[in-house]
Amino acid sequence: MSTCIQSDRIWTSELNCRDEIQSAFDHAKTIHFYDTTLRDGEQSVGVCFSPDEKFEIACKLDELGVSRIESGFPRVSDDDTRAVRRILDAGLSAEIWGFARCMQADIDAHIELGTEHILIEISTSELKMKAYGFDRDKVRERVTAAVRHAKDSGMKTVNFFAVDSTRTDPGFLKDIYAEAIEAGADEISVVDTIGACAPEAVEYLIREVKSWNGGTPLHWHGHNDFGLATASAVAAVRGGADWIQGTINGMGERAGNADICEVALALQCLYNVPVEIDLRKAREISTLVQKAGNYTVDGWKPVVGEYLYTRESGAVASQFHIPEAIEPYSAELVAAERRIVLGKKSGLASIDLKAEELGLDIPQDKRDSILAEVKDLATRNARLISDDEFRAIVGRHC
C-alpha cells in the first residue's frame, strides 16, 4: 500500500507545482523500492554484518514498507548462507530476492535455499568486459545460459542487471536486454555502477530503454560519486522507471548508493509521486544499520540526521513556534523530535524556550547575563551546553 503525506505537513516552494515540472511524472503510478543494504550496502569499506544483524535489518526493512529485500549472496560465506536462509524463513511481507552473477553455481546456491526471485548480473561496458577478460559474445552466452537456467529451475522472477549500463554502447545494451528477455528475464535493471551519469542523461537513457522493451518492468540502480544519486533516481522515475534500487543511509561502494528514504521523501514531497515506504520508520532503521555497520551518518543528513529538527541558532529559535518558517516538511513525517539546544550561537529566544521546556522561571532582567554565561561556556569548551549545566547557570543567576 502506498503512503500519502498530508499537504499541510509539507512547506516547499510553490514553484514545484508548475505544470512543466509536475506533468513530467506519472502521478498514478506508485514507485516501489528494492533494497540492497544487505549486499551492496555491506560492500562499504569495513562493514561486516553478522547473520543476526542481517536478519534484524531485514525485519526492519519489512516494517519500513520496502517491497523487495535483497537477502545477500550466499556463496560469499557460510554466515551469508545462514542469513539468507533465516530471512527466507521469516515470512516477511516483502519479496526476498537473491543476488547472483551469471554463473550456474551462484544461481544454484539460491535454488537450494528456496529463493524464488533473483537478480543476475554481468558487466556490459567495454571497460568492464576488458577488466574481466570477457568479450560481447561471452557476455551474450553467459546471460542467456544463466537466465534460462534460473527460469528452468523454477525461479518466479528473474531480473537481468547490466553492470555499468550507463557506459555501455547503446546498441549492445539494447541487444543484451532483448536477449535476456528472450531467454526468460522478467525485469531488467539500468545500472550506473560508478555514478558517472548526470540526472538528465539518466532520464534520457531510461526513456530509451523503455522504448526498446515496452512493458518490461524497469529498475534504476545508481551510485553517489558526484552527490547526485537522489537526483538521478528522481530523473529515472521521470523517465519511466518502475523500481528504484538503493540502500539505507545510502551506504555502499565508494560514495555509496542512492538512499531509498531520501528518494522516497523527494518523490512524495516535491513531485507528488506515491511511493511504497513509510518514512516514519526511517530513523529507526537508520540507527539500527549504523550500529550494525559501526559507523555514524552526518547529523545534518536528510531524513535521518540527528540535528534536522534541533535548533541552536538564536535567530532560528525565535521562529521555532512556526515550524514551516524554518523547516520544509514536518518532523512528524519522519517521526523526529523538534528541540532547542544551547550553545555559542544561541540567543534570548533560545533561553526562553529552554527555560519553558525545563519548567524554569527566569526573570526578564536575568536573561542577558544567563545567555552570556551560556555562550561563554559553550565557546570555551567548543560544544553544546547540557540541560543540567543550564539549570546550574540559572541557579547561579536566580
Length of the chain, in residues: 398
Q: Which fold has domain 28-293?
A: TIM Barrel (3.20.20)
Dist. CA 205–CA 200, nearest whole Å = 9
- The DSSP secondary-structure symbol of 386 reads P
Render each residue's pLDDT in the chain as its tens digit; 398 residues.
445 567 789 999 999 999 999 999 999 999 999 999 999 999 999 999 999 999 999 999 999 999 999 998 888 888 999 999 999 999 999 999 999 999 999 999 999 999 999 999 999 999 999 999 999 999 999 999 999 999 999 999 999 999 999 999 999 999 999 999 999 999 999 999 999 999 999 999 999 999 999 899 999 999 999 999 999 999 999 999 999 999 999 999 999 999 999 999 999 999 999 999 999 999 999 999 999 999 999 999 999 999 999 999 999 999 999 999 999 999 999 999 999 999 999 999 999 999 999 999 999 999 999 999 999 999 999 999 999 999 999 999 98
Do the strands 243-246 and 95-101 form a parallel or antiparallel pair, or are they unpaired?
unpaired
Dist. CA 258–CA 234, nearest whole Å = 10
Dist. CA 347–CA 325, nearest whole Å = 18
Per the CB < 8 A criterion, the answer to whether 360 and 306 are in contact is no
Dist. CA 37–CA 202, nearest whole Å = 22
Provide the whole-model pTM: 0.94
Q: What are the boundaries of each domain within the chain?
A: 28-293, 310-397
